[in-house]
A and B are shown apart, each in its own frame.
Chain A
């Protein structure tokens, strides 16, 4: 027995379940690549301008740390792709992760794999179907991206390289997630492993790229760095693609081996017995919400503290003041108006981290939905716990937790950057407005997630779609040449303060009011609707 019987049926089932979401994700990714390439080509109409812009990018360690270097400044494809190819690779990695997790551990945890497994379905079939689905989605995305870039007039080898860049990240995280879902009994635990690996990969590449020489080998260790070593629109060293290929085969092999060693439903780490009585503090909806969410929050907080420390020390390396006006213009477009490269770098990273904090806040708020769907809220609401109390307790953790993440990462930055230059206290004072300013924008995202939960519980995925829209219009709006009115839709645009920049209170107060109104609307909607399980 190969253990693969039924893989085809499971694959068709997965495609049936994802027939709407998956094509939308692929189209969005392709639009991101094609749209911004087109906009960049329009921004620099002559070859000289293109080359100067590309050289300006390579001269800025801060930008290189964020997006990776440009291989060949004379190739129009290079400047047209440098920003979206590295960020897009992260999105493709997230897509692969989401697909593998959704069709393996999530199904197993819900008991549906057991139902399926009792039919004529091999033990390896669910994992195989998920891996095939993820790889297929990444391949389709890459092929369509290559076609659209070639269609825009970029050279074919470089465009194929672009597709391989994305594919390398997608393949690697298909393998990494395949392992992660074997390790723990819960889908949440698997997420922690896989997303933790993504964070490590990002930091390795950022350090490797920004430290010329000494630590540049770190990029080779990062699944997000392999694509960069393809040297697209430059040397086009496609042989590097063998690394992600071998890595994926090996990691999926490890995942199969782990699967063979464990029982259905079990993780590799066995569950332990616990206390026979609840501690005295476990006696309120808030205490329950904290108990359910503390593990995830502590994980995020540790990750944010480490990111802050690492980014702070990278920022110290990128140092130096801007002299070239062209570079200055470039930096402004990438979301900063501060004078020091380090400040621009930290400001841009804080913008990204604010989006991450919003993602945490949304996932914490949407815990309300999984609690409801799994039938836990039904039991809690059958006690004297009111609906506002239930919603409020998870909302408090989502709002407080997301704000704390930014504070923690700011402290980390101040600690490592300030120790190297300027002193910790002074650096903290200068960074603090930049750290705190995005919090109202993050809270607007959390508020939207709460409203979706309150009003449209079966469509909570909308909360993520809204965040994706904010990211695209806010972060890529200017290079996509979107009208300012569209860009202004993103709350993050109004809540970004570069280090050393001045804070204007009105937009922040407005965002706080919006967040409060959204939270109130969420409570109102939740009070009026039926509780829905599954």
Chain B
């Protein structure tokens, strides 16, 4: 498997503020890679280094086989970028900005441009200063996605889009990868990342704390169980079961979380009390995410 983006041990500081502290990142060609992390974790800094806008203090970054700082212009023919905070020229219309950015990038696909403008329901005749945040993002998205490129770097591209436009975005991204493109998607909208991403990287304080397919992450995680039983279950007894946490008993209702490899033992125990209803849900990305974010800094090192 070739890597579209390969980052090893990347460091970047602004004065005494450490933005990246040994970041590793690997994005495989053809995948949609979710890039998650709390505010200030260093996501935007990392993406700007991948664009050659910032220079790393140390470490390696390779994008599409090229060095983003030294081969900037040749590399930029092959990728497109949507910044998190899209700022348009106040006196250029949205349509003009799309054309300008497309031409500066080396041309855009007219058919795709027209199609995306229509699907995103964008009025291209309005001046940049009159657009709302969501509409500015649409302009940047249309400009980036109608370019003929191999890689999209998207930094929280949908934070201002309404649910309808969010759906348009998702299908457009999927069309892009269906054509062989690669996407690095930084986002806080977990449902979006969950729906789109093949693999994700969670970073925190400039380091990645978890990387992999969401499915694999779920495997090593907890399953949530909600059950009602015929006979009451003893709280202490349930809590003493290995792998079981967060037990709540209200009358005949039992809810708890269980490590996936202890699920069988728990079900046996509950079965002894006579299960009437049972619901089990796999951990959502939100659960994974929250667990990573909440873990105190010290306990990880």
Contact = CB atoms under 8 A, between A and B. Distances in A.
Interface stretch (B83-91, B158-166, B173-181): B83-91
Nearest to B99: A278
Interface in A474-502: none
Contacts of B127: 271-274
Interface in B33-57: 48, 51-55
A151 to B, nearest CB: 44
A277 B92 CA distance: 10
A276 B125 contact: yes
Contacts of A272: 127
B126 interface: yes
Interface residues of B, number: 43
B218 interface: no
Contacts of A529: 55
Interface string A378-390: 1111111111000
B75 to A, nearest CB: 9
Which of A186, A383, A384, A530 gathers the greatest number of chain B CB atoms within 10 Å? A383
Contacts of B88: 376
B144 to A, nearest CB: 9
B130 interface: yes
A185, A283, A382, A386 — most chain B CB neighbours (10 Å)? A382
A285 B81 CA distance: 18
Interface in B68-108: 72-74, 76-77, 79-81, 83, 85-93, 95-101, 103-106
Given A271-B130, A384-B105, A276 B95 contact: yes
A288 interface: yes
A283 B104 contact: yes
Interface in A243-284: 271-278, 282-284
A291 interface: yes
B104 A291 contact: no
B10 interface: no
Contact of A384 (B55, B83, B89, B104): B104
Please indicate which of the listed interface residues A278, A284, A378 has the most CB atoms of chain B within 10 Å of its own CB. A278
B124 interface: yes
B77 to A, nearest CB: 5
A429 interface: no
Nearest to A292: B89
Contact of B96 (A278, A378, A384): A278
Nearest to A530: B54
B105 A277 contact: no
A276 B127 CA distance: 10
Interface string A504-534: 0000000000000000000000001111000
B140 interface: yes
A49 interface: no
A530 B53 contact: yes
Interface string B2-14: 0000000000000
Contact of A379 (B77, B96, B101): B101
B276 interface: no
Contact of A385 (B53, B90, B95, B104): B104
Given A282-B99, A378-B53, A383 B130 contact: no
A386 B73 CA distance: 6
A190 B53 CA distance: 32
A288 B105 CA distance: 14
A114 interface: no
A273 to B, nearest CB: 4
A271 B81 contact: no
B119 interface: no
A375 B104 contact: no
A282 B130 contact: no
B76 A384 contact: yes
Nearest to B125: A273
B87 A374 contact: yes
Contacts of A382: 51, 53, 76, 79-81, 83, 153
A360 B184 CA distance: 42
Given A274-B96, A278-B96, A386-B72, A530 B89 contact: no
B129 interface: yes
Given A273-B125, A276-B124, A283 B100 contact: yes
Given A185-B129, A273-B125, A379 B140 contact: yes
A381 B100 contact: no
A272 B97 CA distance: 16
A383 B101 CA distance: 7
Given A271-B130, A278-B95, A386-B72, A381 B53 contact: yes
A381 B55 CA distance: 14
Nearest to A271: B127
Interface string B104-140: 1110000000000000000011110110000000001
A38 to B, nearest CB: 44
Contacts of B106: 383-384
Interface of B: 48, 51-55, 72-74, 76-77, 79-81, 83, 85-93, 95-101, 103-106, 124-127, 129-130, 140, 153
Given A274-B93, A292-B91, A375-B85, 5 more contacts: A185-B90, A274-B95, A379-B101, A381-B76, A382-B153
Give the 10 A-B CB pairs with smallest separation, nearest first. A278-B99, A383-B104, A274-B93, A375-B87, A382-B81, A283-B103, A278-B96, A276-B95, A383-B105, A276-B124
19 contacts: A185-B90, A276-B93, A276-B124, A278-B95, A282-B96, A282-B103, A285-B104, A380-B104, A381-B52, A381-B76, A382-B83, A382-B153, A383-B105, A384-B73, A384-B74, A384-B77, A385-B73, A385-B104, A528-B55
